[in-house]
Amino acid sequence: MSFAQILRGSRAMASPKCLPESNYSTSHLRFPRLQSITSKKNSRARGDWGLKRTLPKIKTRYICVRQQDSLYKQADFQSSAKFVRLVRNWFDAGFVRDPSEVALLQELLKETGLKDTRDINKVFSPSKQSDENDNFRRYGVSGGIQYSNVPLINSRVTPNCESNCSNIRRRLTAHIISSDASTAYYGLGGLILRLPRTVVFNRNRSSPLFSQEQRISYTVYKNGRLRLVPFSGPELETHLAYPSEDSEVESFFNRDIQLVAKRDSSLDAPVSYQRGIMKFFMAPSQTSNNEANSSEKDNLSNS
Amino acid sequence: MPKFNANGLLRSFAAEMKKPWTAESLWYETVAKHPPTFQYARRIVPLYDPNKVKSRGKRLRKSMYQPQEIQWPEDKLRKRFYRDHPWELARPQIIAENDGNDQQYCDWSHMDQPRKALSGESVVQRTLWLIENSNMPVENAYDQARKEFYHLRAEQEIQQRVAHDQAQALGAVFTKSDLELGYEMDQNALNSWFDNASQYAEANRTKFTDPSVDISKTTQ
């Protein structure tokens, strides 16, 4: 073979160097622009990465080369472990295509007679719904491990601030202290949030370090939507008894909540209420007692 | 005049040799007997494209002897593929050669190669093969190669997940992934912050409370 053919078929020529760079800073880059290069362990020890010149001993395992031969007769290279690790973490997180979206695309393919799912983007442009979670919709994935939901929860919590400084609702940063497996399925009491102090108006009149401790529940639906509800005992019926998804009506989760609500309603609330009224009337004086007795007699006569 | 004149250098070396404290070089006698007769750099003229040379205008003579850029049809295909799929660049490749005959071991009538990992280069070579053997236009050949690539990539991912599940079912224990380690580090940072904040609040309790208010009653 001639030198030209060997050069054309070599691996160094096959590595692309075609995406222009505006500047050398790569901390702001969102996607890689140069090929990530690695080498075997023994070759790395000798500094042999397949380039024109050997490189010194470096700790990183993945590099990208801007120039093999610069003006100073050195290889201009830098680490590219950032993107390599990101790709690996993406697969470790277990993201998969949203099944409902895949089914929708299949139906659209049958209706329109197109052959490729990528062609649908040219025909249809779905409008963006406000109630959907942009973080997941952007990537077209659903669910994943709980770790990926942590930054979403931090950015969405907006509890009432019950301090002397102000009664206006405002956005506060919440720190997640603990979570357990029940959160993934029920969304009940899985997280404990502690809201740190944010404002100090006066030296002696500031609120405590932790204004309040609040338990919050969240549910991740199959379409990637996230639902956050501050949880408190007496408000159980108003917050969690009404499902917002059709598939949630007949689910085990909803039945459990309904049972809890019924059990709470069957307690002795009205009797205690009446007893309170009786005590209130009997306390002041004997004449009031007589009136109470007369009222009781009237009730008996009515019945 | 050229910048470096071989005969001039030889003449200056001859002057240096006359000095008594200078030792004679080994090559001096041979070069003195057979001095160079012409410039080698300008003797060999590379093949050049007239269109590129004409575009330079008055700098014709200067650009004629400059080394020209090497271009192949694969370059455009590579540029297009990696512009469409930039995250393929994040899959590390080994460019250290073993014997330099990689192209001879590949048969590009099909995309999957036993001695080569699946990458963007497979799409490029497959496209060229389709253009030459099937008489396809570039667009159709590129699309077909791209779809074959997607199919093989999906198969690869499914095989990896299945292998992982099988290994776990048979009792393999994997180390913690980067995500789990990051989660633990986050929790440790929050725990340490919580401890420090609690100690700080306890130490400076009087600063943060109004002395006129009885704390014991409020806590109850």
- What pLDDT does residue B215 have? 55
Token digits of residue B2: 């050229």
Mean pLDDT across B121-143: 89
Q: Which of A59, A55, A79 is nearest to A69 (CA)?
A: A55
- Judged by a CB distance cut-off of 8 A, whether residue A181 touches chain B is no
Q: What is the pLDDT of residues B175-212, one digit of tens each?
A: 888 777 886 887 888 888 888 888 888 787 676 666 66
CB-based contact, A165 to chain B, within 8 Å: no
| A141 and A76 fall within a common domain | no
Give SS3 for A292: helix
Beta bridge partners of A226: A220
Chain A from 79 to 118: CB within 8 A of any B CB = 80, 83-89, 91-93, 116
- Give the best residue of B179, B206, B219 to mutate against chain A (max A CB count within 10 A): B179
Domain assignment present for A91 = no
Please, what is the Cα angle at B73 between B67 and B75, to 5 degrees?
A: 75
Q: What is the mean pLDDT of chain B?
A: 78
Task: Tell whether A301 is covered by a domain.
Answer: no
Return the H-helix or E-strand segment holding A257: helix A252-265
**Residue bearing the bigger pLDDT, B142 or B43:** B142
Chain B residues touching residue A8 (CB < 8 angstroms) = 72, 74
| Domain match, A10 and A79 both | yes
| pLDDT of amino acid B124 | 92
Cβ neighbours of residue B160 under 8 Å, at least 6 residues apart?
A: A91
CB atoms B201 and A93 under 8 Å: no
* Cβ atoms within 10 Å of A62's Cβ, excluding its own: 19
Considering CB atoms only, which of A12, A51, A83 is closest to B90? A83
Q: Do A16 and B79 touch (CB under 8 A)?
A: yes
- pLDDT tier for residue B92 given thresholds of 50, 70 and 90: very high
Is residue A280's pLDDT more than 70? no
Give the pLDDT confidence of B9-23 residue by residue, as tens digits.
777 878 877 788 878
Distance from CA of B29 to the nearest CA of A (A): 34
How many whole angstroms separate alpha carbon A187 and alpha carbon A253?
9
- Count of structural domains within chain A: 3
Is the CB of A36 less than 8 angstroms away from the CB of B87? no
Q: How far apart are CA A83 and CA A36, in angstroms?
A: 9
Q: Do A12 and B95 touch (CB under 8 A)?
A: yes
Mean per-residue pLDDT, A61-75: 81
**pLDDT category of residue A258 using cuts at 50, 70 and 90:** low
Check whether A92 has a pLDDT greater than 80: no
Q: Identify the CA nearest to A174 among candidates A161, A188, A186.
A: A161
Q: Which residue of A has its CA nearest to B72?
A: A8
Q: Which residue has 């070396």 as its token pair? A: B13
Q: In the structure, what pLDDT confidence band is assigned to residue B28 with cuts at 50, 70 and 90?
A: confident
Range of the structural domain that residue A110 is part of: 96-124+137-156
Distance CA A183, CA A16 (A): 46
Residue A78 and residue A8 share a domain: yes
The mean pLDDT of A249-274, rounded to a whole number, is 51
Give A201's pLDDT tier (boundaries 50, 70, 90): very low
- Specify whether the backbone of A58 is left (phi greater than 0), alpha (psi in -120 to 50) or beta: beta
Task: Please list, in sequence order, all residues whose beta carbon lies within 8 angstroms of the beta carbon of residue B193, skipping any fewer than 6 positions away.
Answer: A175
pLDDT value at residue A1:
67
Please check whether residue A250 lies inside any domain of the structure: no
Same domain as A24, residue A74: yes
Which position has the token pair 């049809």? B73
Instruction: Specify if A259 maps to a domain.
Output: no
Closest by Cα among A297, A127, A153 to A215: A153
| Higher-pLDDT residue of A139, B185 | B185
Asked if A146 and A184 touch (Cβ cutoff 8 Å), the reply is: yes
Please tell me whether residues A108 and A75 are part of one structural domain.
Answer: no
A282 inside domain: no
Q: How close A12 comes to chain B (CA, Å)?
A: 6
pLDDT band at B136 (very low <50, low <70, confident <90, very high): confident
Instruction: Report d(CA A128, CA A148) in Å as an integer.
Output: 22
The alpha carbon of residue B13 is apart from the nearest alpha carbon of chain A, in Å, by 29
- At B22 the three-state DSSP class reads coil
